[in-house]
């Protein structure tokens, strides 16, 4: 059983930065893809970024490209989402998710590809 715990959310003014953390137990190496999703008020859940294991290849949705960065810390079984130049439209509940089994070693931002989810951490950006 894989468990994910997010932290690092909070409130920030537009233009500010936050770093979210996702700790995976028992080990990051149980996963093949780690992704971040978000769900704003009244919106559907949106996949915004992923990193594969062990090659650490990343992909970002257009909505966050150039502003958000995933980084690894395998010794801590963690993935971080560094968020910069935050905008009010980034306000959402942010979730990390893990895929254990993937097809053709390809990660995606499809929700259905991810078997394990964290509890979420709230990010609020004020103008």
The pLDDT profile of the chain, 127 residues, written as one tens digit per residue, is 899 999 999 999 999 999 999 999 999 999 999 999 999 999 999 999 999 988 889 999 999 999 999 999 999 999 999 999 999 999 999 999 999 988 887 899 999 999 999 999 999 999 9
Greatest alpha-carbon pair distance for the chain in Å reads: 43
pLDDT for 53: 85
């Amino acid at each position: 059983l894989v468990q994910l715990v997010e932290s690092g959310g909070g409130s920030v003014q537009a233009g500010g930065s936050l770093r979210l953390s996702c700790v995976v137990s028992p080990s990051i190496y149980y996963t093949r893809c780690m992704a971040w999703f978000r769900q704003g008020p009244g919106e559907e859940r949106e996949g915004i970024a992923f990193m594969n294991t062990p090659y650490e290849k990343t992909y970002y949705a257009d909505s966050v490209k150039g502003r958000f960065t995933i980084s690894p810390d395998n010794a801590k079984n963690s993935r971080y989402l560094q968020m910069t130049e935050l905008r009010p439209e980034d306000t959402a509940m942010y979730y990390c998710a893990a895929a254990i089994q993937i097809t053709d070693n390809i990660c995606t931002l499809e929700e259905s590809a991810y078997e394990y989810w964290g509890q979420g951490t709230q990010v609020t950006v004020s103008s």
